[in-house]
């Protein structure tokens, strides 16, 4: 983790930052590979929980912020934060930066929390 709260830590502030990359060094960065990495972290709301539970994505919208999906060393920084959570639902925002610190993707996700 690069920052924020760990999953199932009962955190008051549901935010996580992670450096992620694909294991396959020959994989060329693409929209599909970026989406796979963006979908890898769990929803940030799980940081507020104290034990595992079922969470399901309801909606996910994505905005690409560049025409060039590239990073220098295969690493991407992902920050995800739940900005609202109540009554079994959570809304979160996510930003993905390349290794040079340039934002590449922004997204918004709504999840159902069955805990």
pLDDT digits (tens, 9 = 90+) for 71-92: 988 999 999 999 999 999 999 9
Its pTM stands at 0.91
What pLDDT, on a 0 to 100 scale, did the predictor assign at position 12?
A: 94
Distances (CA, A) of 82 to 6, 62, 69, 102, 110: 13, 16, 25, 22, 9
Sign of the dihedral defined by the CA atoms of residues 22, 48, 80, 75, in that order? negative
CA distance 88 to 71: 36
Q: What is the DSSP string of 5-55?
A: PPTTS--SS-EEEEEE--S-TTPPP-HHHHHHHHTSSPPGGGGG-SS--EE
pLDDT, tens digit, 9 for 90 and up, residues 2-42: 899 999 999 999 999 999 999 988 888 899 999 999 999 99
Name all domains of the chain by residue range, CATH numbers in brackets.
3-114 (2.40.160.210)
Residues 6+ apart with CB under 8 A from 30: 69
């Amino acid at each position: 983790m690069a920052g924020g709260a760990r999953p199932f830590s009962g955190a008051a502030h549901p935010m996580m930052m992670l450096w992620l990359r694909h294991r396959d060094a020959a994989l060329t960065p693409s929209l599909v590979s970026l989406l796979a990495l963006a979908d890898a972290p769990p929803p940030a709301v799980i940081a507020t929980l104290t034990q595992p539970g079922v969470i399901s994505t309801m909606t996910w919208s994505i905005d690409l912020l560049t025409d060039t999906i590239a990073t220098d060393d295969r690493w991407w920084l992902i920050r995800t934060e739940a900005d609202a959570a109540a009554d079994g639902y959570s809304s979160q925002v996510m930003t993905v930066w390349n290794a040079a610190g340039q934002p590449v993707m922004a997204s918004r996700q709504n999840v159902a929390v069955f805990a």
